[in-house]
A = this chain, B = another copy of it.
Amino acid sequence: MKAVGIVVEYNPFHNGHLYQVEQAKQATHADVVIAIMSASFLQRGEPAIVSKWFRTEMALSRGVDIVLELPYIYSTQKAETFANGAIAILKEVGVEYINFGSESGDVDSFNQLSDFMHEHKDEFDQLVKKHIKKGYSYPRATTAAFQDLHPASNMLSLTEPNNILGFHYIKAIRDQHASIKATTTLRKQAQYHDAFVTGHAIASATSIRKALMDKDINEISHVMPEETFSLLNEYQRSYQLLHTWEHYFNMLQYKILSTPLTELRSIYECEEGLEYRMKDLIKDSMSFTELMERFKTKRYTWTRLQRLLTHILTNTTKTEMEEACSTYKPPYIRLLGMTQNGRSYLNKTKSDREVPIITKFSKASGIQKQIEERVTNIYLSPLKKEHFIKEMKQEFSRSPIILNH
């Protein structure tokens, strides 16, 4: 059996994702689609609107065969680390292909870019450092460094978010000596950052989340499969919230107020005196959004700062992250769900794997597990006490979701 891997957040699963799953299968003639899905907190440094279990079910009901957890130590990271964590898992489960969405749609252009960057690596790193010194943010510095290298005019641009991720997948495959072939799907219509849902069947996840928070959920039913729609409704009905940063603002505020500066400084990604600004701003910010608007500087992107605040909320230190990410070889891989087709694949390929795929969290171990447990508990904290207690218990004992179709 042949597998194609995809790296996803599904926050929530929508028609654009459905299109990608179909394209990935068509382009590779794969028998199974394996999604590596971020668990509780996402790359932009924010909580997933619904739990990983609900998002797993959305995926399985629409073409994904296996959902594996991308743990916190990789899910809330810059593109390079994020991609390396995901590729390490895909390598372990033996996928033949990876498919990713991109603004380009042409995989050759990614390979050319990868070769070009490989040749100019040292020069590029020097240029990035130079621009950072000028006070540029990291993404702006990499864009400027890239342009300084005078790439050919038809070279893929490293300024689009999905191109950057794609580039890092290919780089990670090369660095980890993985035998995974890359394919890409042209992203349809919606741009990643589009703010509003339109009449089209495809809308960005950002615009869908905005619509979910602001207005009637029924107004956006046309941009997602009915399973997503009904699962979102069910989550909201059962737990009476869709997770946003505002639900965690009281905890964040308490954390920053109660933690001495020296300790804040030990948190992952807390650099260059950001702890002073946080201590200062938290005292008179009415909401998370207000805090972020005031926290933002030229030097640091919104995303970078949101990730820092996520690490503060989850109390994740530099030492811990260094230990947990010291190798990209995962200590275990957690299975969140599968179809019968996915189950066959996992059974048939079992003997090829070095890393155990665990079906119960109680089988996890080591620092990755320790961090994941803490982060999950914090993610669940805004729920009502009875739900919170139940979900925390189930997290340890529950089996993966299995869909029979």
Contacts and interface: CB of A to CB of B under 8 A. Distances in A.
A320 to B, nearest CB: 9
A385 B287 contact: yes
Contacts of A393: 283-284
A213 interface: no
Contacts of A250: 250-251, 381
A392 interface: yes
Given A385-B286, A392-B283, A393-B284, A258 B257 contact: no
Contact of A374 (B258, B287, B377): B258
Interface in A75-131: none
The number of times this chain is found in the oligomer is 2
Nearest to A381: B254
Interface string A247-286: 0001101110111100000000000000000000001101
A286 B378 contact: no
B257 A389 contact: no
Contacts of A284: 389, 392-393
A377 B279 CA distance: 12
Interface in A362-378: 374, 377-378
Interface in A319-377: 374, 377
A386 interface: yes
Interface string A375-398: 001100100011001001100000
A169 to B, nearest CB: 32
A310 interface: no
A376 to B, nearest CB: 10
Contacts of A287: 385
Given A283-B392, A393-B284, A258 B386 contact: no
Contacts of A386: 286
B255 A378 contact: no
Contact of A314 (B251, B258, B378, B385): B258
A254 B392 contact: no
Nearest to A315: B258
Given A259-B315, A315-B259, A378 B254 contact: yes
A180 B33 CA distance: 82
10 contacts: A251-B254, A254-B255, A257-B381, A258-B313, A258-B315, A258-B377, A283-B393, A284-B389, A284-B392, A286-B389
Given A257-B381, A258-B314, A283-B377, 5 more contacts: A258-B374, A259-B315, A260-B315, A283-B389, A287-B385
